[in-house]
Amino acid sequence: MRIVRNIPDWLIYLILLVIIIGNVTLKSRPNIPPMVPPELGAALPNAMPTDPALMVEIDEPSSGIGTAFAVDNQGTWLTARHVVDSCDTVGLRLGGGKHVIMDAVKISKDTDTAVLVSRWKRAPFARDFNTRRQIGERAYLIGFPQGRPGELAGKLIGRHRMLTRGRYRTTEPVLVWSEIGRSRGLDGSIGGLSGGPVFDKDGEIIGLVAAESIRRGRVYTVAPKSLAKVLSPLEQKPGADAITVENYGRRADSYRRSRRIAQVVCLVK
């Protein structure tokens, strides 16, 4: 080992000067926010009249099924308007041949939403209608596709204008999701998932299933701002009930078993 002796004073002063300058430079730098994960893109643009149009035809009234979810502790539920509009009787199917008939159905005039009032009380989910959504973020859609328990995972790709025509007419912004996963054995249409809740990664509701494009593998959901017209936000502790691609199936099963998400039935005479 070689030992260096008698280090010149000027070299010591130079080293100290470099350290001082370096510390001053670091302290003067602005705080740089953490970089967005590579799978996320820009913030979702605001709704515009020039957004691509999605045409949805609503047929004449007929009996059918969909999905609903609890929104308060008083027996209030939310589903899609097109599931329960013009129905003579609306109820929740609880399993084992049991049903709960709704006491009232309140139809939105300008969004694909409907509020159901019943005596069946379940704990609501937290919801987030204010956070700016980001292209590429994931969401989890839970309910009863094809009348059976099932769920989807999607990736946000943009925003459209949904033009509903047929027995009623509405125009509203919807979020567009590219399907990236679904329940094992679930093939083809996801009819029956309409009205089901859309959860973000924090386990908060940010949408409601409105339409699908089987050919393109896309799902369209009611925009958060549209839901805010009929529901107020519910706060949730950070990190509680987080949902991931790995656990969304288990979360979905848990929510259905607790009947916080239920199948809704429409009967037309």
Domain-located, residue 28: no
Read off the pTM: 0.83
Token output for 25: 């430079």
Domain-located, residue 167: yes
User: Per-residue DSSP letters for 91-144?
Assistant: EEEEETTEEEE-SEEEE-SSSS-EEEE-S---PPPPB-SSSPPBTT-EEEEEE-
Could you give phi then psi for residue 42, rounded to 5 degrees?
Answer: -70, 165
Which pLDDT value is given to residue 3?
34
Element (H, E) at 180: strand 170-182
Q: How many domains in the chain?
A: 1
Residue 192's domain comprises 53-63+124-262
Which pLDDT value is given to residue 239?
54
Which pLDDT value is given to residue 24?
44
Domain-located, residue 21: no
Kindly report the CATH number assigned to the domain that includes residue 256: 2.40.10.10
Domain-located, residue 74: no
Domain-located, residue 230: yes
Could you give phi then psi for residue 104, rounded to 5 degrees?
Answer: -155, 150
Q: How far is CA 116 from CA 3, 102, 120, 182, 264, in A?
A: 84, 6, 10, 27, 10
Domain-located, residue 255: yes
Which residue type is seen at 202? D
Domain-located, residue 113: no
In order along its 269 residues, the chain shows pLDDT tens digits of 333 445 455 444 555 555 554 554 434 334 444 444 556 789 999 999 999 999 999 988 899 999 999 999 999 999 999 999 999 999 999 888 889 999 999 999 999 999 999 999 999 999 999 999 999 999 999 999 999 999 999 999 999 999 999 999 999 999 999 999 999 889 999 999 999 999 999 999 999 999 999 888 999 999 999 999 998 766 665 556 899 999 999 999 999 999 999 999 999 99
CA terminus-to-terminus distance, the chain: 97
Domain-located, residue 111: no
